[in-house]
Amino acid sequence: MEIETAFHHGAVADDAKPILEMRGIKKHFGNVIALAGVSFDIRPGECHCLLGDNGAGKSTFIKTMSGVHKPTEGEILFEDKPMNFSSPRDAMEAGIATVFQDLAMIPLMSVTRNFFMGREPTKGAGPFKRFDVARANEVCVEEMRNMGINLRGPDQAVGTLSGGERQTVAIARAVYFGAKVLILDEPTSALGVRQTSNVLATIDKVRKQGVGVVFISHNVRHAMAVGDRFTVLNRGKTLGTATRGEITPNELQDLMAGGQEMAQLEGSLGGTI
Amino acid sequence: MPADSTVTDERVREETLLARLMKRPELGAIAGLILVTIFFLFTANASMFTLSGIMNFLTPAAQLGILAIGASLLMIGGEFDLSIGSMVAFAGMIFGALVVNLGLPLIVAIPGTLIFAGMMGVVNGQLVIRTGLPSFIVTLAFLFILRGLSLVGLKYLTGGSTQLRGVRDAVGDDWLAPFFSGDAFTGLFAKLAEWGWIDTFKSGAPKVPGVPVEILWFIGIALFATWILLRTPAGNWIFAAGGDKNAASNSGVPVNRVKTTLFIVTACCAALVAIMTVIDAGSTDARRGFQKEFEAIIAAVIGGSLLTGGYGSAIGAFFGSIIFGMVVIGLTYTSIDQDWFQVFLGGMLLLAVIFNNVIRKRVTGER
């Protein structure tokens, strides 16, 4: 399989209008303050990385973005209109698709059946309305090929795909069904080197189609490989957003860890992290 | 992607036809059917494979098969229904009461019975969904509840007996009766007998007067269920709901509606069997459908349905039921003690489960 090694980073003008804007998002769970005023935005055709260590509030934040949680305070603007998502379905319909770590894939079912799960194309009318299997197969194989995956056949079970390929199916599915903003929750966390580069290549392809990609990760290298902008979350707060070229991996790493300890640790480990 | 992207992945070997066939869920059942047929071709009296012999074993196969197809759909959807055997007795009682005690015509009594059964299906389904308990436990409770209700109800209806008679007189020559009892295509079979194409009695009447209607229902339901499963969005939802209900509902599949509908379908399959067997027998009793839930699940498993859901086939359950009918009736054509049947059944189940497990691993590429 061919792997694109050069990423052509999104040539997004700095003044491009954000498609999704989150302003001063706060989220409290009882007396726990999970998010203490986070601002974030995503422009079409860019890959905005959201970095943070475990417990930084990444998950809470993307769940707020994708309609799972309602923010306690703050506003969400989608295409300049204030949004109040009451369920993930609302967000999905607006064009915000989230690929969670479990991928919402069923290993025993074929790639096509997974691809169209819940949104099957039909033909015929009334009682003869039926699943248009031929078209579904055709679309699925075509979409997967565009993402660089050659299926053995549309009836190949998802269980036979590698982790990276499954991730790609989930991404391709979200994009096919009209995602304008694609939120990827740690897509590379469980993958090997080769599979990771496949997924990063996929992100690059999706970005070129004008989709705004939110890439959540705690791996700075993966983020640096595709990201156009980087926002670091630490203890429920943003530590600022940096543009590609403005920041080095080491600085990012330090920000994520919240300062000096990391620099010291890294010194003792000989810079291997 | 450049044009050469159609090259296949060099790490994936070309699959042979056999390997591809191995992935069909119903393969085991078809192979089993061939084996059983060969077995009886050698051991059984030749009359087993005459037209009348075939009808002989297809009739019980059909009665079980209608239950098994319902059970297999529900199993693919990720749930069990252990109450279908008791449901046959319960629906039989309701049907008997509507026809005999209330004197209703079939056009009212049959939909009435199906609605009653469907409501019990809703109760089962909602209990499973709302409590989050395994359907195994919930429907096990209903196995006893419905059987008990049938006993109590029949005693109440008949004034102390557990058998309700008089269905035949009550049904009489209702215009709907031929759709649910007796034989179909009798005219055709009479003609075939006349032309000497099929065996006849000395009087010239055919030995087999027609195709028992339950066989036609059986074939019809198997084809319909297969069509639903493989060629409609609802079929995709059934596989998805059984495969992983969280993933399915995150993708927009109405999982609860799918499962409740499947419980209704299973209950209605039981009611349909009850209606046909009660009209045929002319009476209903509280033991009707005893242990049919297990036989139906066995037929579904032989047909390739996984106990964990998400995988299986209705046509597999169809063949599984024919194997079952063949063995039950076939043993009477041999010199083998008929009681071996249960041993055989248990053995078949065990083999099928092991076989299915292997298939599942192949399909999902587990190592």
pLDDT beneath 70: ranges in chain B: 1-23, 364-367
pLDDT value of residue A270? 57
Residues of B in contact with A100 (CB under 8 A): 250
Residue for token digits 């700075």?
A220
Interchain CB distance below 8 Å, B12 and A122: no
Dist. CA A150–CA B15, nearest whole Å: 15
pLDDT value of residue A267? 58
Of A210, A215, A237, A217, the residue nearest A228 (C-alpha):
A215
Dist. CA A119–CA B251, nearest whole Å: 8
Among A109, A149, A162, most B C-beta atoms within 10 A, so best to mutate, is A109
DSSP character at residue B98: I
Dist. CA B51–CA B183, nearest whole Å: 14
Dist. CA A153–CA A140, nearest whole Å: 10
Q: Is the predicted pLDDT of residue A193 greater than 90, yes or no? A: no
Which pTM was predicted? 0.86
Q: How large is the C-alpha radius of gyration of chain B?
A: 22
Interchain CB distance below 8 Å, B240 and A109: yes
Of A135, A157, A122, A142, the residue nearest B235 (C-alpha):
A122
| Interface membership of B244 toward A (CB under 8 Å) | yes
Among B17, B226, B363, B366, most A C-beta atoms within 10 A, so best to mutate, is B363
- What is the H or E stretch that residue B115 is in? helix B106-131
pLDDT value of residue B367? 47
pLDDT value of residue B259? 96
Q: How far is B78 from chain A (nearest CA, A)?
A: 13
CB A83 within 8 A of CB A64: no
Question: What are the pLDDT digits (tens) for B136-171?
Answer: 999 999 999 999 999 999 999 999 888 999 898 888
Residues of A in contact with B236 (CB under 8 A): 109, 113, 116-117, 120, 131
CB A142 within 8 A of CB A173: no
Mean pLDDT confidence for A157-180: 88
Q: How far is B117 from chain A (nearest CA, A)?
A: 24
pLDDT value of residue A12? 52
Average pLDDT, chain A: 83
B22 or A132, higher pLDDT: A132
Strands B211-212 and B183-184: antiparallel
Amino acid at A150: N
Residue for token digits 């080095």?
A248
Among B223, B251, B307, B356, most A C-beta atoms within 10 A, so best to mutate, is B251
pLDDT value of residue A246? 84
User: Which positions 285-314 of B are in contact with A (Cβ < 8 Å)?
Assistant: 306, 310-311
Contacts of A242 (CB under 8 A, 6+ apart): A229, A230, A231, A252
pLDDT value of residue B298? 93
Of B1, B231, B248, the CB nearest to A131: B231
Question: What are the pLDDT digits (tens) for A23-44?
Answer: 889 999 888 888 888 889 999 9
Per the DSSP assignment, residues forming a β-bridge with A26 are: A36, A73
**From the CB of residue B10, how many other CB atoms can be counted at a distance below 10 Å?**
7
Interchain CB distance below 8 Å, B240 and A146: no
Dist. CA B120–CA B112, nearest whole Å: 13
Of A252, A198, A266, the residue nearest A221 (C-alpha):
A252
Of B57, B28, B80, the residue nearest B319 (C-alpha):
B28
Residue A84: Cβ-neighbour burial (10 angstroms; 0-12, 13-18, 19+): exposed
Q: What is the DSSP string of B320-340?
A: HHHHHHHHHHHGGGSSS-TTH
DSSP character at residue B181: S
Amino acid at B136: F
Q: How far is A1 from chain B (nearest CA, A)?
A: 6
CB B303 within 8 A of CB B29: yes
Of B319, B307, B317, the residue nearest B357 (C-alpha):
B307
Percent of the residues in chain A that have a pLDDT greater than 90, as a whole number: 15
State the SS3 of B117-149.
HHHHHHHHHHHHHHHCCCHHHHHHHHHHHHHHH
**From the CB of residue A126, how many other CB atoms can be counted at a distance below 10 Å?**
5
pLDDT value of residue A1? 43
Q: What is the DSSP string of B253-279?
A: --HHHHHHHHHHHHHHHHHHHHHHHHH
Dist. CA A158–CA A115, nearest whole Å: 10
Question: What are the pLDDT digits (tens) for B95-132?
Answer: 999 999 999 999 999 999 999 999 999 999 999 999 99
Interchain CB distance below 8 Å, B9 and A150: yes
pLDDT value of residue B279? 94
Question: What are the pLDDT digits (tens) for A220-260?
Answer: 888 888 899 999 888 888 877 888 888 888 888 877 776 55
Of A102, A148, A152, the CB nearest to B247: A102
Chain centre distance of CA A57: 16
Mean pLDDT confidence for A57-83: 87
State the SS3 of chain A.
CCCCCCCCCCCCCCCCCCCEEEEEEEEEECCEEEEEEEEEEECCCCEEEEEECCCCCHHHHHHHHCCCCCCCEEEEEECCEEECCCCHHHHHHHCEEEECCCCCCCCCCEHHHHHCCCCCCEECCHHHCEECHHHHHHHHHHHHHHCCCCCCCCCCEHHHCCHHHHHHHHHHHHHHCCCCEEEEECCCCCCCHHHHHHHHHHHHHHHHCCCEEEEEECCHHHHHHHCCEEEEEECCEEEEEEECCCCCHHHHHHHHHCCHHHHHHHHHHCCCC
Phi (first) and psi of residue A23, to 5 degrees: -120, 125
Q: What is the DSSP string of B2-54?
A: -GGGGSPPTTSPPPPHHHHHHTSTTHHHHHHHHHHHHHHHHHS-GGGGSHHHH
Dist. CA B99–CA B166, nearest whole Å: 9
**From the CB of residue B319, how many other CB atoms can be counted at a distance below 10 Å?**
27
